[in-house]
């Protein structure tokens, strides 16, 4: 029996991290697959990103035989700088060449040294786990699925993919290897289900190149192409289209510049000589001879494209005649940021192409329904486990599999933290871990929880009121009148009557000369009374803070 524990990647698209467990007698070995970040919901005010909760693995580091990474997207690799320092263990990390390169860049940014080995040489043997990487196509090159074998059976880990039969680099999915393991017998297949709602096949990445060429051909000003920085095939096609139109190419944005450098070093990009120019030299060329490939397609705050659209970038100024191409769709939840960018670019006089006006400037890297049917037909797993989508996608995948002949008991829908047991006949949930939402906020990891977020939401909606009480340090008695300061609640000069009422209310509850004994209890009672008073007066619920000023 094999146990699978998703610490992230179930019921949402990001934050992917899976733990595989194999036990024999009193010995348990653990294999980790992927370690990615997640993106905060709108109500997580101030949060930068999310990382998996690895509390379950703490103290078990000596049982971890290794980490294997499937591909180079941040939602599969970028949590490593946050997770590795929490796990006090020396275990190997394996990835394909490009994924390893991107991962090293990520770790270097944090000053973390880790040995990452290239697994493209063949089968890995990590303890009792035998891992055979299977070449697969996706929106980032050098992607792999994993066949994970133990003495108790085989699991197919099929993270993000599509069947692209005409890929830009000519490397097609290794269907022969999939079929080989399908014939041997797969106990369970974990399968990316994000585009299950779309019938047919996802379009080939090569379709984008033709459209990029058409978009660039007749532009009189400079061309700006924004993409996901890990989409090396898209970058290659943008370069090819620029060369076809006689334009020089400059890369602008740290993530794009780093990824291009890594991809070139590893021979995943082919750039003709004398095409690429340094970004600071771009001003020396006529606009009609320029193609800028920039980061920030998701409208991230402070990103290159956001600063360009806000007319705040030192090197790039947009003007009439320029053309901006969004060769990336908004990640769900980012639509508002992206459309704000488009509006601002249009205000500056640029023409802008995006999915609503030209629908083949981006194609999905995820398999549509017919591709999912094909994968299941090739693998013939006993149990099917949808991953990498929301719960609506998982439910649709269950319908797809049952229509193909799988019984409902052999389609296993999991939650993050479920401990799934898999044997030759079926899969089931054996136990459950209670996982925390781990938020990265600035330099803090995990120090922002539900109470902090609740306070932030309350302040964002209604502002805050600070009441400072003067207290005699020697006697611990209140002396003098309280001071009331507000922020984001009312404009003090125009609401002096309200503030005077509030002061009087505080004085009634905490009169001068009153002895402060159990301050925590007294403070809670007073804040509760002030909450009621302020709501009755204003129909608002600001965050009220009560503090002592001793002298």
Residues 6+ apart with CB under 8 A from 407: none
CATH number, domain with residue 397? 3.60.15.10
pLDDT tens, residue by residue, 176-214: 999 999 999 999 999 999 999 999 999 999 999 889 999
pLDDT at position 492: 55
Say if 523 falls within a structural domain: yes
Catalytic: 370?
no
The answer to whether 149 touches 129, Cβ cutoff 8 Å, is yes
Q: What percent of the chain has pLDDT over 90?
A: 65
pLDDT at position 538: 73
Among residues 323, 366, 416, 441, the one annotated as catalytic is 366
- Which region among 103-117, 163-177, 218-232, 500-514 has the lowest average model confidence (pLDDT)? 500-514
Highest mean pLDDT among 324-333, 504-513, 527-536: 324-333
Is residue 202 helix, strand or coil?
Answer: coil
pLDDT at position 135: 97
pLDDT at position 41: 57
- Which region among 144-153, 393-402, 512-521 has the lowest average model confidence (pLDDT)? 512-521
Clarify whether residues 429 and 470 are in a common domain.
Answer: no
- Whole-angstrom distance, CA of residue 496 vs CA of residue 373: 68
CATH number, domain with residue 538? 3.10.20.580
Clarify whether residues 144 and 255 are in a common domain.
Answer: no
pLDDT at position 444: 47
Closest CA to 319 of 351, 343, 341: 351
Clarify whether residues 195 and 326 are in a common domain.
Answer: no
> What average pLDDT does this structure show over 512-524?
75
pLDDT tens, residue by residue, 217-241: 989 999 999 999 999 999 999 999 9
Residues 6+ apart with CB under 8 A from 493: none
Clarify whether residues 496 and 413 are in a common domain.
Answer: no
> What average pLDDT does this structure show over 396-418?
97
Closest CA to 202 of 380, 370, 324: 370
Clarify whether residues 283 and 406 are in a common domain.
Answer: no
Clarify whether residues 373 and 346 are in a common domain.
Answer: no
Say if 449 falls within a structural domain: no
The answer to whether 262 touches 286, Cβ cutoff 8 Å, is no
Residues 6+ apart with CB under 8 A from 354: 326, 338, 342, 361
Say if 358 falls within a structural domain: no
Residue 401: alpha-carbon gap to chain centroid: 28
Which tokens in the block code for residue 234?
Answer: 């898209």
Q: Is the pLDDT of residue 44 over 50?
A: no
Clarify whether residues 32 and 165 are in a common domain.
Answer: yes
Helix/strand/coil (H/E/C) assignment for every residue in 328-341 = CCCCCCCHHHHHHH
Closest CA to 203 of 72, 354, 378, 359: 359
pLDDT at position 455: 53
Q: How far is CA 437 from CA 6, 394, 416, in A?
A: 14, 21, 11
The answer to whether 321 touches 348, Cβ cutoff 8 Å, is no
Q: Which of 323, 353, 383 is the last residue of a domain?
A: 353
Clarify whether residues 386 and 348 are in a common domain.
Answer: no
Mean pLDDT of the chain: 88
Q: Which of 329, 353, 377 is the last residue of a domain?
A: 353
Q: What percent of the chain has pLDDT over 70?
A: 92
Pairing status of strand 188-192 against strand 383-387? parallel
Please return the burial class of 45, using the count of CB atoms within 10 Å of its CB with bins 0-12, 13-18 and 19+. Answer: middle
- Whole-angstrom distance, CA of residue 412 vs CA of residue 125: 28
Q: For the chain, first and last CA: distance in Å?
A: 67
Catalytic: 71?
no
- The count of domains in the chain is 3
Q: Which residue has the tokens 């082919």?
A: 270
Max CA distance (Å), the chain: 85
Domain that holds residue 136: 2-200+364-444
Q: How far is CA 385 from CA 226, 483, 494, in A?
A: 35, 60, 61
Neighbours of 267 (CB within 10 A): 9
Which comes out higher in pLDDT, residue 551 or 16?
16
Say if 359 falls within a structural domain: no
Is residue 30 helix, strand or coil?
Answer: strand
What does the radius of gyration of the chain's CA atoms come to, in whole angstroms?
Answer: 28
215 forms beta bridges with none
Q: Which residue has the tokens 């004398």?
A: 274
pLDDT at position 477: 79
- Whole-angstrom distance, CA of residue 367 vs CA of residue 443: 36
Q: Confidence band (pLDDT; 50, 70, 90) for 451?
A: low
> What average pLDDT does this structure show over 361-372?
95
Task: Outline where DSSP puts E strands in 335-463.
Answer: 351-353, 383-387, 418-422, 427-432, 438-441, 444-445
Q: Confidence band (pLDDT; 50, 70, 90) for 40?
A: low
Say if 21 falls within a structural domain: yes
Please return the burial class of 115, using the count of CB atoms within 10 Å of its CB with bins 0-12, 13-18 and 19+. Answer: exposed
Clarify whether residues 120 and 46 are in a common domain.
Answer: yes
| DSSP assigned state of 35 | -
6 φ, ψ (degrees, to nearest 5): -80, 115
Question: How many helices and strands in the chain, by DSSP H and E?
Answer: 14, 25
Clarify whether residues 297 and 328 are in a common domain.
Answer: yes
CA trace torsion 490, 496, 497, 502 (10° rounding)? 70
Clarify whether residues 131 and 72 are in a common domain.
Answer: yes
Say if 451 falls within a structural domain: no
Q: Which of 353, 387, 411 is the last residue of a domain?
A: 353
Highest mean pLDDT among 8-17, 22-31, 461-470: 22-31
What angle separates helix 97-109 from helix 254-265, to the nearest 10 degrees? 140
Clarify whether residues 222 and 181 are in a common domain.
Answer: no
- Whole-angstrom distance, CA of residue 154 vs CA of residue 151: 8
- Whole-angstrom distance, CA of residue 404 vs CA of residue 359: 31
> What average pLDDT does this structure show over 36-64?
79
Q: Is the pLDDT of residue 287 over 80?
A: yes
Q: Which residue has the tokens 């600001």?
A: 542
pLDDT tens, residue by residue, 57-108: 999 999 999 999 999 999 999 999 999 999 987 899 999 999 999 999 999 9
Closest CA to 35 of 92, 74, 85: 74
Residues 6+ apart with CB under 8 A from 379: 156, 178, 181, 182, 186, 189
Among residues 192, 329, 416, 418, the one annotated as catalytic is 192
- Whole-angstrom distance, CA of residue 250 vs CA of residue 232: 15
């Amino acid at each position: 029996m094999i146990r699978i524990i998703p610490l992230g990647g179930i019921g949402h698209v990001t934050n992917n991290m899976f733990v595989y467990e194999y036990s024999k007698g009193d010995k348990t070995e653990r294999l980790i697959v992927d370690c990615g970040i997640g993106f905060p919901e709108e109500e997580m005010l101030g949060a930068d990103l999310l990382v998996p909760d690895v509390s379950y693995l703490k103290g078990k580091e000596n049982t971890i035989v290794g980490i294997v990474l499937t591909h180079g997207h941040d939602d599969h690799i970028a949590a490593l700088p946050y997770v590795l320092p929490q796990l006090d263990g020396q275990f190997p990390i394996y990835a394909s060449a490009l994924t390893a390169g991107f991962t090293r860049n990520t770790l270097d940014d944090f000053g973390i040294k880790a040995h990452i080995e290239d697994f493209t040489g063949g089968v890995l043997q990590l303890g009792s786990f035998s891992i055979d990487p299977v070449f697969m196509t996706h929106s980032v090159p050098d992607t792999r699925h994993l066949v994970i074998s133990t003495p108790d059976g085989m699991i197919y880990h099929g993270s993000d993919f599509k069947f692209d039969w005409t890929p830009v680099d000519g490397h097609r999915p290794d269907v022969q290897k999939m079929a080989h393991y399908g014939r041997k017998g797969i106990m369970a297949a974990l399968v990316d289900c994000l585009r299950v709602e779309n019938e047919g096949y996802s379009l080939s990445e090569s379709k984008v190149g033709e459209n990029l060429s058409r978009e660039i051909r007749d532009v009189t000003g400079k061309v700006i192409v924004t993409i996901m920085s890990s989409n090396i095939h898209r970058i290659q096609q943008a370069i090819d289209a620029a060369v076809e139109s006689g334009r020089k190419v400059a890369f602008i944005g740290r993530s794009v510049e780093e990824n291009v450098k890594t991809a070139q070093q590893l021979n995943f990009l082919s750039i003709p000589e004398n095409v690429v120019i340094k970004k600071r030299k771009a001003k020396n060329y006529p606009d009609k001879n320029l193609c800028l490939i920039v980061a920030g397609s998701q409208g991230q705050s402070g990103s290159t494209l956001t600063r360009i659209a806000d007319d705040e970038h030192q090197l790039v100024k947009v003007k009439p005649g320029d053309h901006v191409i969004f060769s990336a769709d908004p990640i769900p939840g980012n639509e508002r940021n992206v459309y704000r960018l488009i509006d601002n670019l249009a205000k500056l006089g640029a023409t802008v192409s995006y999915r609503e006006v030209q629908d083949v400037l981006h194609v999905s890297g995820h398999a549509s329904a017919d591709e999912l049917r094909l994968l299941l037909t090739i693998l013939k797993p006993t149990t099917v486990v949808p991953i990498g989508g929301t719960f609506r996608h998982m439910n649709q995948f269950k319908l797809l599999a049952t229509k193909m002949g799988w019984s409902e008991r052999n389609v296993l829908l999991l939650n993050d933290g479920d401990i799934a047991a898999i044997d030759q006949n079926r899969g089931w949930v054996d136990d459950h871990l209670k996982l925390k939402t781990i938020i990265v906020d600035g330099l803090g990891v995990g120090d922002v929880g539900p109470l902090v977020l609740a306070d932030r939401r309350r302040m964002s909606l209604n502002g805050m009121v600070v009441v400072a009480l003067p207290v005699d340090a020697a006697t611990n008695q209140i002396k003098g009148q309280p001071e009331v300061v507000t922020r984001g609640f009312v404009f003090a000069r125009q609401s002096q009557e309200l503030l005077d009422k509030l002061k009087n209310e505080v004085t009634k509850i905490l009169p001068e000369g009153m002895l402060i004994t159990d301050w925590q209890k007294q403070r809670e009672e007073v804040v509760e009374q002030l909450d009621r008073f302020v709501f009755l007066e204003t129909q608002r619920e600001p965050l009220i803070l009560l503090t002592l000023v001793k002298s």
